[in-house]
Structure 1
């Protein structure tokens, strides 16, 4: 379904009645609203106290700096390493950079969920928190949003580095291909108002802004899988959680292929494929590789649909976590 909606959004059919909103504007305003909402949650609710402690725990652990350094190192190295892609080095660089940030953010969220939820339950630390005026549901919500904020911080820092090097990489490849040189700064090429303003295709800023929808989709996928990881961590230890999330990640990206390749004359195979596609998240909806390879920009309509799908599945994962943790023996 999302593939058809993406095609409609790309053609402008979903927003034909009004001028389309620029996707980078949606991402920037959405990020600002999200950050303000998380800050209000952290300081105005009881669960926010747990969320703040979880963010500090996620940032202070060595794996945060390790993953952030790894992402930055790969992005910097890919800036100068030739891809031999016949003039599409910038697209390959963008694709590799988005994949790097996705993997690093997912590893951080799953690792933090295992440490912050599973280990605290096994080590009886959760009993200390729940002895205070904090319910089990507030505990789960606080842990979940704290893990999301820790991974969001990694995405923002790595995304800023990626944005800067994409800005530089586009001009570097443009010059190396013999097309001349581009101006370093072209502030008139884009409008920050919530309207679609034509930009020169051969612009550093236009190329850099293409990664913002990809970063937004990465955040949505991370948020969704974090909810699944937290639900699993309420009952299972770290190793099982990591393996389960890895399996869900792989199968979630293959569900469209499984459904399409299911043999029509094999009822059982078709049933299993549709069952997996229904229960497991369709993570391929958040994949931007095809758009990057074809040089297209993800429409704002598609970002909105993906956000609704992400929120619905994350809420379902949280409800499952409530059920699993409600009768969990902490003594």
Structure 2
């Protein structure tokens, strides 16, 4: 029977959380506020009539980009830097399972992302209210929640690549998976319109392997209103999809990490 030490997981997660927060990550919140203020001041001059929707789009887009920067650049180094500095030898010599080590790292960075997204969402709503810009509150909160699901999945991707690749290669591979994940549905369309019998199974296989990040992107619902949001059943299924995919990725990361020799 596999025994899981929740104390070890929580300790590792708390250490990651403190380390990332001390690394001035939350300075990105100030950058986000500046981006919003610039949008509010400049858009009425260049996009009269559409500035409200553009402000919503820019606010959510900037939240996504800043969150992705933290996810990729910190996520790929969560385990990689421990390997490069050889500090992993000290950690795994203690009564800490490698699976607990991976899960603790994941939960620590996910907690940072939760705080980061929550603070940026609060700033976003405050700026919109102060400037009397109409916005769908419920849709914005849903979009922020699903952004968290999406970035948590990418944390798991970053951990996998960080286990066996250099920092630079892991970063490039994670960004690649993020981009391909947003366009993975196009592979299905390619399979449908292609007359090449060999392309169809390849495209469908790639779609099944790559994460379908479009399922976790509901930004349009926040920009164009709740009518653009998927139905509640679809939202729940998409959240379940993201959770299961993330668990599978963490399982793969644990297997790969367990087989590494130090």
TM-score, normalised with respect to structure 1: 0.72
Per-residue CA deviation, residues 78-119 of structure 1 (Å, 9 max, x unaligned), is 122226556332222112111111111121122222332101
- State the structure with more CA Rg: 1
How do residues 1-331 of structure 1 correspond to structure 2 at under 5 angstroms? 45-62=7-24, 64-82=25-43, 84-85=46-47, 87-169=49-131, 171-172=132-133, 204=134, 207-262=136-191, 263-297=193-227, 298=229, 299-330=231-262
Structure 1 CA distance for aligned equivalents of residues 224 and 47 of structure 2: 13
Structure 1 CA distance for aligned equivalents of residues 245 and 157 of structure 2: 9
Contact 1:213 1:303 in 2 (8 A): no
Contact 1:116 1:143 in 2 (8 A): yes
Unaligned runs of 5+ in 1: 1-41, 173-203
Contact 1:58 1:150 in 2 (8 A): yes
TM-score, normalised with respect to structure 2: 0.89
Contact 2:78 2:159 in 1 (8 A): no
* SS of aligned partner of 1:52: helix
Give the C-alpha shift of residue 267 in structure 1: 1.8
Between structures 1 and 2, the one with greater helix share: 2
* SS of aligned partner of 1:82: helix
Give the C-alpha shift of residue 136 in structure 1: 0.8
Structure 1 residues 271, 85: CA separation in 2 closer, same or farther (over 3 Å shift)?
A: farther
Structure 2 CA distance for aligned equivalents of residues 45 and 73 of structure 1: 39
Structure 2 CA distance for aligned equivalents of residues 285 and 125 of structure 1: 38
Unaligned runs of 5+ in 2: none
RMSD: 2.1
Give the C-alpha shift of residue 50 in structure 1: 0.3
Give the C-alpha shift of residue 290 in structure 1: 3.4
Structure 2 CA distance for aligned equivalents of residues 85 and 270 of structure 1: 43
Structure 2 CA distance for aligned equivalents of residues 328 and 79 of structure 1: 50
Contact 2:216 2:239 in 1 (8 A): no
Give the C-alpha shift of residue 56 in structure 1: 0.8
Contact 2:102 2:254 in 1 (8 A): yes
Stretch of structure 1 that moved more, 293-302 or 209-218: 293-302
In the alignment of these two chains, the number of paired residues is 255
Per-residue CA deviation, residues 184-208 of structure 1 (Å, 9 max, x unaligned), is xxxxxxxxxxxxxxxxxxxx5x633
Per-residue CA deviation, residues 136-163 of structure 1 (Å, 9 max, x unaligned), is 1111110111111111111111111011
* SS of aligned partner of 1:81: helix
Contact 1:51 1:147 in 2 (8 A): yes
* SS of aligned partner of 1:87: coil
